[in-house]
Structure formats: structure tokens, C-alpha cells
Amino acid sequence: MRHNFRRVGAVGLAATVVTGLVIVGAGAASAASTGTLTGAPATGSVTYTAFSVVTSDLCPADTADISGVVNNAAAGWNDVTLFTTSDTELRNLNTSGMPAQNTLLSIANDQSPALTVPNGIYTIRVDCLDGILFPTVLGSFEGSLTVAGDTYTFNSVAAPASTTTLVATPSSPQSAGTAITLKASVTSTAAVAGTVQFKDGGTDLGSPVTVAGGSASLTTSSLSTGNHSLTAQFIPTSATSIAGSTSAAVPFVINTATADPVATTTTLSSSPSAPTTADVVSLTATVAPANATGTMTFKEGGTTVGTGTVSGGSSSVSLTGLTAGVHTYTATFSPAAAADFLASTADAITVTVTTFTGASTKETITTNVPAGTLVITTSGSSVDLGSLALNSSNNLLVSSIKDINPVTVTDTRAGNLGWNVNGSVGDFTNAAGDTIGGQYLGWTPKVISQASVQNVTAGGVAVPGTGLTTPHLLGSAPNGSSLGTAQLGATLVMQAPTSTKPGTYNTTLTLTAI
């Protein structure tokens, strides 16, 4: 293995053509890959084409040397030097770039003993170094090319996936005009750099916010009265360094605000007027104004004898098994929102209970609530994406955009339990046994229809490259608003590698409701 070192000034590489490289010297400390690389031209002749290398990001600012090597252990290529650099070339790296110095065949012939260039996959690594003697690797960029005959082709590189989560503070519900802080957190195996666009349904909330330390925040007081579906969309600075992502929707309710809490008055009454120990005594508390909402607590002395929800300005409890004698009761109203109404307590009333001297009988009344079912069906059994076509960049085979057959979810279960529908696929295969990875199929879920009492939301986008090989949410309905029938759909798109062999490929989309 040959070593070629030159001392150069610190330089950063930003998705720039890299054609001058230096091999890593013995003793260089290794570092995990911090980016990817591709080639320009992306395909060419092993004999005649001198290609360049394009990195997905910058080298660290304190980089002094840059090295590039190629490996194919089966062919005897072990850290073989691709290019050499000069100070002048490094200074021009971010502007005009540098022409390649050799073809793959020339590089092979320059080795001692000379190497050949057989068919196969060759990995390429570019290292950012901090000096000459025993340098430390500050960052690495990795990629590969495939040789077939006299033709090389750079392999496409998928950006690392990201995950975005959203939290709203304070939690729902809130009154109109309340300041709501939306905080998005973005995680990935790659460095997170970009902005977050907060959204209310399909409407942007403010301008994109720069991600710092993996998070971005926005505070707004402009949410209108009603139901909202809040999301956060991460938009990367470099789509080749990290993939974008969208958070799950956060339902949020804004209630009508009142200028000041309204005072309330609570009165208490009982029936029958002359109860016995065998009677059921009803305590009824009435709240004014009648639109006040909240709970009522009934007490005898310091003991709570019942609670109830205030509806239509009143709440009642029924008492049985009262002992003979005088009982004193009070009732206290607690508002649902302290910003809307004030609490109040009724004046105490006395109820005199006499001993029952007659007889009584009882009957047990029974009713049944059926369990109900959660059913998922589709309107068809297959989707044809048509023929894949080469995109304008000549680096992907892209399908036309097609929708899956509508998915119908019917929930009749007791308890209003909520549900999630997830979808996933395996690899595509053809009759010859060739495959296309399921990760190259992506989707954008949508809600086609839902019952008026449901609150169904679509799942997040699964982009090609991350795809549907693991379950992705198609849609969901939360606990309390899931009963009825909803239709879900999703727009499919495939972006397959250009190395994909011809043929008709099939896979199965599995949709599961839980």
C-alpha cells in the first residue's frame, strides 16, 4: 500500500466535487461515517473515464489533510490510493473543483504488483484528517461503485432516516388566546440540521424554525376556537445527509374564552318531602347561570355522599338506606374551567327521616351491552404501479403515483376504545428470484371519509429509502372518538435503484387494525 502525504490548510467540503485526495497514514485513528459520497459522472468507462467524488457534507473546520481510498478485498484492492492533492487544489476545492488524475484501470496498473479491475463492488472512503504524523480521522464519507465489464456505476446512497415528535404545552383543551408552545424533537443516527415547519392541519403556523440541539419551538396564541390537528415537519438542510420526517398529529381543542370568571349560585332541595327509611331520597342541586359546567359534590356534614356532573344547570344523587332522624346536607359546585366560572356552595338543608313500618319488595333490572367488533376491509386486492421509469437525474427508477385501494375501518365496540391501522410490506420479488427492497416503496396516508363523531387522523409520510419494511401508521382514531365507519387511503410511490434487474415484481401490503 502506498502512502502519499501533503500538509494543507484547514478546509471544509460542502456537497462539493472532491478530486484531490490523500491516503490515510499508518496510525490514523478511525471515526464513524459522518456522511455519504457519490460520483460524477455517475457512470463511465473503467479504461477512459477519470471520475470525481462528491461528498454529502463539510469536513470539520480544523481539517488539514483529506484522504481517499478504494477497497475490494476479493480483487486485492486494500486501501488503494484514488487521488493525490496539492495546497492549490485544496484551496480551489469549494469553488471550481479539480479534475480526476487517473482512471480505475490506470490506478490498478500503477500498483506494485499491478492489480486488475474485475467485476464487483468497490467501496470508496474519504477521510478528513487533522495532520500528517499519526493523524486523527475527524470525519468520514462512504460510498461504492459497481464494475461490470468496462463500465463502472456509482451506487445510490439513501440518507439516514429521522424521527420527529411533537409536544404541545399546556395540554388540550385551552381557552382562546392562551399561549400554546409547540416543541418538536428530531432524532437520527446522522447529524440533525435543518428547520421545522409547524402546521395546523394543512396550514403553516409561522415560518420554519431552525433546529438547535435536536429541537425547535414555536409559541402561538392565534389558534381559533374549535378542534385542531397539530404536526411538526422536519425539513433537512441537506436531503442527502439526513431524511426529513413529520410527527404524529397532536389533537388540540380551543374553547371560547370569557373575559372574567362568572359568579355562580347553588341551591339544594330534596324529595320526597316526608321520607321514611324505606324511601329513596333524591338531592338536587341547581346552578345559576344554567350554562355553567362542572361537578357537584354532595355532603352530609364532612362526609361525601355523592358526586355528579352538572348538566343543564343541575345535578342529582339518590340516597338509600337512610337511618331515622335528622340529616343535614350541603352541595358544592366546582367549575370545569376556573377561567369561565366561580365555585359556589348551597345553604344547608335538613331532611327528617321517619321509620318505615310497612313492607317492601325489590326487583333486579338487567341489561346487556354487546362487545361489538373492529373490522377492516379493502375495496380491492391489488395495485399496479405501472412501469418504473428513469428519473431526470438518471439515478433512480421511479414509479407513477398510485393510490392503494380504499381501506374501510368499522368500529362498533363497546367502550369507544380507539384504533390504529398500520401497514408494512416485504421485499418485491420477480419470477427469477430478483428482489427490490421494500424500503424503496413510500406512501403518504390520507383520510378519505369518517363519521361525524369520529376524530380520525392520517399517519405520517414514509419516504422511499426508509419505506414500509417496518410498520407505518396509515391512520388512527383516539379513545372516545373512534365509533363508526372511516375510509383511509394512501398515495404510493417507488424509487428503486438503477441496478434493478428487469421483470415483474410483486409484494404484499399487510394492513392491521388494533
Mean pLDDT, to the nearest integer, of 227-247?
Answer: 89
Which residues does residue 491 pair with via DSSP β-bridges, in sequence order? 403, 444
pLDDT band at 83 (very low <50, low <70, confident <90, very high): low
Q: Do domains 158-257 and 265-353 have the same CATH topology?
A: yes
pLDDT band at 30 (very low <50, low <70, confident <90, very high): very low
239: which DSSP letter?
Answer: T
pLDDT band at 194 (very low <50, low <70, confident <90, very high): very high
pLDDT at 24: 34
- Is the pLDDT reported for residue 31 higher than 50? no
Residue 439 phi, psi dihedral angles, 5° rounding:
-65, -15
**Longest distance between any two alpha carbons in the chain, whole Å:** 117
Residue 127 or 28, more confident = 127
Residue extents of the structural domains in the chain: 17-154, 158-257, 265-353, 369-514
Mean pLDDT, to the nearest integer, of 275-297?
Answer: 94
CB 28 within 8 A of CB 129: yes
Fold of 369-514: Immunoglobulin-like (2.60.40)
What confidence tens digit (pLDDT) does each residue in 384-428 have? Answer: 999 999 999 999 999 999 999 999 999 999 999 999 999 999 999
pLDDT at 86: 44
pLDDT at 61: 72
CATH architecture of 265-353: Sandwich (2.60)
pLDDT at 306: 95
- Strand, helix or coil for residue 357: coil
- Is the pLDDT reported for residue 87 higher than 50? no
The pTM is what? Answer: 0.36
Mean pLDDT, to the nearest integer, of 90-102?
Answer: 48
Q: Are strands 396-398 and 419-425 parallel, antiparallel or unpaired?
A: unpaired
Mean pLDDT, to the nearest integer, of 76-104?
Answer: 62
What CATH number does domain 158-257 carry, 1.10.3720.10, 2.60.40.10, 3.40.640.10, 2.30.30.30? 2.60.40.10
- Is the pLDDT reported for residue 21 higher than 70? no
What confidence tens digit (pLDDT) does each residue in 441-485 have? Answer: 999 999 999 999 999 999 999 999 999 999 999 999 999 999 999
Out of 27-31, 54-58, 219-223, which region has the weakest mean confidence (pLDDT)?
27-31
- Is the pLDDT reported for residue 305 higher than 60? yes
Mean pLDDT, to the nearest integer, of 204-211?
Answer: 96
Between the alpha carbon of residue 5 and those of residues 84, 93, 103, the distances in Å are: 8, 17, 21
As given in the structure block, the three cell numbers for residue 29 are 485513528
- Strand, helix or coil for residue 104: helix
pLDDT band at 162 (very low <50, low <70, confident <90, very high): very high
- Is the pLDDT reported for residue 207 higher than 60? yes
